[in-house]
Structure 1
Amino acid sequence: MIAYGDLLPIALDAVGRAATFMRRQAPVTSTSKGDRDLVSEVDYAIERDLRSFLRNATPGIAFLGEEEGVSGTGELQWTLDPVDGTINFVRGIPLCGISLGLLHGVRPVLGVVDLPFLGARYWAAEGCGAIRNGQLVKVSDTTSLREAVVGIGDFAVGADAANKNRTRLALMAQLTETVQRVRMSGSAAVDLVWLAEGKIDAAITLSNHPWDMTAGVAIAREAGAVVLDSSGADYTSKSMTTLAITPGLAGQMLPHVRDAETAAIQR
């Protein structure tokens, strides 16, 4: 059996390197990589540095980066979003960070998220609990949707954005009539770690990229969150959506997502 916690010191070192670089390099220049989507030179620099660092430190583990794809093969794979929330970063909004996760097959088993401009680092490995700056964190005990604060992932851009956003708009319309507040931070990593420490009660992303989700899902699960896709099945890296929810709300939240998907199809 693999002791995922043994890899945490390496992951923490890697993310520490990236966080130091990120703090020193702002503000940045950026270029377009698609419709209303940006990438900065810091994204590329961090990804290249951590790809090299982790290849040397863990040569048997593959690597997937958002900007330059896969290197290596194997059952274990590091996943990296070098700057999660690039547009926030470029604009000087502090809701951004580094998200480094580990997949075992399709299952998130380790995560480190550093938010350099908020002074917060979160980490977890399967079976080891979730930590923020050295202190154990847990999800909220909220059980009423009317008391819930819900984080929603960004609206889609690029190809077929209008169709994809129908579901998001339908879900937003439902939730604004039901929950206490809806929030959109612009960073999946921020949403998931804030869920892990009880700042919000659900983090809903109607898409799924392993570099965005792996680290935050691992942390949220270790903090006690239920993480599903919209079918109600346990989340994996192959899921179409990412629904991370405090346990007392999971059964109440899932029908809203399904209703929004149905409403979007019928439009």
Structure 2
Amino acid sequence: MADVGGAAFADLLPVAREATAIARGIVRKHAPRTVAEKGERDIVTDVDLAVEDTVRAFLARETPKTGVLGEEHGRTGGADGEPWWVLDPVDGTANLACGIPLCAVSLGLVWERRAVVAAIDLPFLDTAYTATEGAGAFCDGERIRASGQSAISHAVVSVGDFAVGEGADAKNRVRLDLLGRLGARVRRIRMLGTAAIDLAWTAHGKLDAAVILANRPWDTAAGVLLVREAGGAVLDRDGSPHSVDSAATIAVAPGLRDQLMAEVERAYGAE
């Protein structure tokens, strides 16, 4: 299949919207009953599993030839060279398990290493974000745009969670250095605990930037498309354009790009 662009996949946006709407119903109606450890300081609840199972079944009916990569069950179906869905059934599981209403269902369609369709639902905030490549980003049907902020001293910046597992100490030294640098310059720093909301709110101009020094496609693919379609930039740690293969996910209002990336570069240079 040639790289025909996001417009060719626009008819799959209603599928993505319906899938995340179904997921919203599950998250809102069923508080977590079980919480299990799946890795170092990494948890999964019965709600995560129920959402992923239900959305996978829905996508299998609606798009049977399209594979799915989900956080909980990995990648299934599809063929090499074809588009594939990426799903985070609950981004912000730790928040959900604690009763904090900041979590999201994130679903993107990836083609040629980038998302071309995106749907992010915030179940407890009754908010839905959508985008198709080349057609803009929307919140509940209304067009949204990234912040016009150009003074880093006025910026509100979210940062991603700290690293866990192998190599976490070295990774977190960079995070701590960057926190110190940004804390000395920006208006406020926020740690929301969900990359999907970090990116959706950067697209919506509620945040001026989101710095996530990691890149798991189920967390970031849909939100990256939202930011780009809202006029923001999304970059890897070295300033190159973001893709599903990037090491980091840095979303930023255009007017802050150079200032923010200079601080990221300094933090990595201090390793």
State the TM-score bracket (shorter-chain normalisation): over 0.9
CA–CA distance in structure 2, aligned partners of residues 158 and 94 of structure 1 = 26
Choose the corresponding residue for 1:115, options 113, 119, 122. Answer: 122
Counterpart of 1:125 in structure 2 is 132
Say yes or no: does 1:6 pair with 2:14.
no
Alignment of 1:215-226 (within 5 A): 215-226=222-233
Counterpart of 1:214 in structure 2 is 221
1:160 CA displacement: 2.2
Counterpart of 2:254 in structure 1 is 247
CA–CA distance in structure 2, aligned partners of residues 252 and 191 of structure 1 = 19
- Deviations 1:125-162 (CA, angstroms, capped at 9, x unpaired): 10111111111111110001001000100111222221
Choose the corresponding residue for 1:204, options 194, 205, 211. Answer: 211
Counterpart of 1:93 in structure 2 is 100
Counterpart of 2:160 in structure 1 is 153
Counterpart of 1:55 in structure 2 is 60
- Deviations 1:175-233 (CA, angstroms, capped at 9, x unpaired): 00111111100000111011111111001100100000011111111111101101111
**Comparing 99-108 and 82-91, the one that deviates more:** 99-108
Counterpart of 1:31 in structure 2 is 36
CA–CA distance in structure 2, aligned partners of residues 61 and 104 of structure 1 = 11
**Comparing 236-245 and 69-78, the one that deviates more:** 69-78
Counterpart of 2:73 in structure 1 is 68
Whether the 8 Å contact between 2:32 and 2:45 is mirrored in structure 1 is: no
Q: Which amino acid in structure 1 is aligned with residue 129 of structure 2? A: Y
Whether the 8 Å contact between 1:27 and 1:92 is mirrored in structure 2 is: no
- Deviations 1:83-130 (CA, angstroms, capped at 9, x unpaired): 000000011101101000111021111111101111111010101111
CA–CA distance in structure 2, aligned partners of residues 22 and 188 of structure 1 = 18
Whether the 8 Å contact between 2:32 and 2:46 is mirrored in structure 1 is: no
5+ unaligned residues in a row in structure 2: which ranges? Answer: none
CA–CA distance in structure 2, aligned partners of residues 110 and 233 of structure 1 = 22
CA–CA distance in structure 1, aligned partners of residues 163 and 241 of structure 2 = 24
5+ unaligned residues in a row in structure 1: which ranges? Answer: none
Counterpart of 1:257 in structure 2 is 264
Q: Moved runs in structure 1, 4+ residues, more than 4 A?
A: none
Q: How many residues align?
A: 264
Counterpart of 1:42 in structure 2 is 47
Q: Which amino acid in structure 2 is aligned with residue 197 of structure 1? A: H
Counterpart of 1:180 in structure 2 is 187
Counterpart of 1:19 in structure 2 is 24
Normalised TM-score (structure 2):
0.95
Superposed CA RMSD: 1.0
CA–CA distance in structure 2, aligned partners of residues 194 and 92 of structure 1 = 21
CA–CA distance in structure 1, aligned partners of residues 130 and 78 of structure 2 = 24
Whether the 8 Å contact between 1:195 and 1:203 is mirrored in structure 2 is: yes
Counterpart of 1:162 in structure 2 is 169
1:39 CA displacement: 0.4
**Comparing 43-52 and 169-178, the one that deviates more:** 43-52
SS state at 1:110 partner: strand
Whether the 8 Å contact between 2:137 and 2:230 is mirrored in structure 1 is: yes
Identity of matched residues, %: 47
